[in-house]
Chain A
Amino acid sequence: MSGRLELWLFAAQRLSAMILAPLVLLHLGVMIYAVQGGLSASEILGRTQGSIFWGGIYGLFILAAAVHGAIGLRVVIKEMTAWRGIVPNAVAALFCLAVLVLGVRAVGAIT
């Protein structure tokens, strides 16, 4: 089972990376583009609120970031600390949950 868990996490890590790579570029690109013309916060919110597209994009972004970051954090804990057993898994799960909760709140606020 341990072997399977590691493999599934490996697969989730790579899949989330494939999702994150274009989304990070899109996120940075849109930010740079949006501020060029001096758009105000309310003008940006006017474009994002009620948008299924932006809600979907950033929802996916949050999901991928939560999964990717948590699995990476688990590896870092296992390699860089003496923590073993349930601790790395628990810390990673809590991190994933925290990113999801904060992220969903943020996405909810702009859409």
Chain B
Amino acid sequence: MTETQTGKSLRVDIWRGGEDGWLDSFNVPRQPSQTILDVVTYVQRKLDASLSYRFSCRVGMCGSCAMTVNGKPRWTCRTHVDAVEEDGKIEIRPLRNFPLIKDLAVDMAVFFDKWRDAGARFMPRDGASLKFAEVDPQSPARKEATAAIECIGCGVCYSACDVVAWKPDYLGPAALNRVWTLVNDERDADPEAHLAPVAGDAGCHACHSQQGCSTHCPKSLSPTAAIAGLKRRTLAALLKGRL
């Protein structure tokens, strides 16, 4: 493969080791349309094979490659160096709010455990698979679900959330956003049953609406809006004696 060299180089500081690790500096040649993932891959393949990081699809579909780039959580595969470099420098750290395994690879288990704890799982009605569900795309509930449904579980919102940082058991924006889609899913066996798991101390009411999640979501979703919806629906259910 022929690489188009621009003659310039980029100084890249990359987090190494565990929680008490350090930053290692590398010089990486600049290329047109170079992404942060390209940079990390160059370092791992050409400069230091011991660098650990995670990626899969490289095109913004899988949600594996999120890291903290110059202080902000981002998909590295969809972030161009041109868009984020500051004076020819880039600092790449692992995602915040996740236990660190090594270098840029974080442990996502706690993140997905919270999806489970939030009850963020579709529960079909008995026999629902036997007939085609007709869902009106213009119905208010479906519009709410549509606005929130495209999450691919990359963890960027969870990393951006200050409430997660302050309150480690908080379920977090991604899990709550997913629950909001189920509450609005008329195919679910009992949409209202999804409210109780998110009405506790670690649930939707812990959100301060700071909108870090919505600001950084690479899919431009608004978990803040979904959480606000859950706040309204849980309160309504409480007042009706259904919670």
**Interface residues in chain B, defined as those with a beta carbon under 8 Å from any beta carbon in chain A:** 163, 166-167, 196, 199-201, 203, 205-206, 231, 234-235, 238-239, 243
Q: How many residues of A contact B (CB 8 A)?
A: 13
Q: With a CB–CB cut-off of 8 A, which chain A residues contact B243?
A: 3-4, 7
- Chain A residues with Cβ under 8 A from B235's Cβ? 7, 10-11
Does residue A33 face the partner (Cβ distance < 8 Å to B)? Answer: no
Contact A6 B199 (CB under 8 A): yes
Write the A1-15 contact mask toward B (1 if CB under 8 angstroms, else 0): 011101111110000
Q: Per a CB cutoff under 8 Å, which of A2, A4, A79 touches B238?
A: A4
Q: Which residue of B lies closest to A78 (CB)?
A: B167
Given contacts A8-B238, A11-B238, 10 further A-B contacts (CB under 8 A): A3-B243, A6-B201, A6-B203, A6-B205, A7-B199, A7-B235, A11-B235, A75-B206, A79-B167, A80-B166
Q: Residues of B contacting A9 with CB < 8 Å?
A: 205
CB neighbours (8 Å) of B166 from chain A are 79-80
One of A3, A79, A80 near B203 (C-beta < 8 A): A3
The answer to whether residues A4 and B199 also contact, given A10-B205, A11-B235 and a CB cut-off of 8 A, is yes
Expressed in whole angstroms, the minimum distance between the Cβ of A52 and any Cβ of chain B is: 31
Query: Which residue from B163, B201, B239 sits with its C-beta under 8 Å from A2?
Result: B201
Q: Tell me the smallest distance from the CB of A27 to a CB of chain B, in Å.
A: 26
Can you report 7 A-B residue pairs in the complex whose CB atoms are below 8 A from each other?
A3-B200, A4-B243, A6-B201, A7-B199, A7-B234, A10-B205, A11-B239
Would you list which residues of chain A between 1 and 41 have a CB under 8 Å from chain B? 2-4, 6-11
Q: Mark A75-95, 1 if CB is under 8 A from B, else 0.
A: 100111000000000000000
Main secondary structure of the interface of B (DSSP, over half): helix
- Among A7, A79, A80, the residue within 8 A (CB) of B205 is A7
Cβ distance A15 to chain B, nearest Cβ, rounded Å: 11
Most buried by B among A2, A3, A10, A79: A3
Nearest 3 A-B pairs (CB), nearest first? A79-B166, A3-B199, A3-B200
The answer for the CA separation of A78 and B243 in the assembled complex, in Å, is 24
How many angstroms from the CA of A78 to the CA of B231 in the assembled complex?
Answer: 19
Report chain A residues within 8 Å CB of B238.
4, 7-8, 11
Inter-chain CA distance A75–B201, complex, in Å, is 10
Contacts A10-B231, A11-B235, A11-B238 given; does A3 touch B196 at CB 8 Å: yes
Contacts of A80 in B (CB 8 A): 166
Contacts of B196 in A (CB 8 A): 3
Question: Chain A residue with minimal CB distance to B198?
Answer: A3
Q: For residue A9, which residue of chain B has the nearest CB?
A: B205
What's the nearest-Cβ distance from chain B to residue A39, in Å?
Answer: 41
Choose among A6, A8, A75 the residue with the greatest number of B CB atoms under 10 Å from its CB: A6
Which chain A residues lie closer than 8 Å to B203 at the CB level? 3, 6
B residues less than 8 Å from A2 (CB atoms): 200-201
How far is A78 from B163 in the complex, measured between Cα atoms in Å? Answer: 11
Closest to A79 in B: B166
Name the residue among A7, A8, A75, A78 with the largest chain B CB count within 10 angstroms: A7
Looking across the interface, which residue of chain B has its beta carbon closest to that of A7? B238
- A80 vs B231: C-alpha distance in the bound complex, in angstroms? 23
- The CA of A6 and the CA of B167, in the complex, are separated in Å by 15
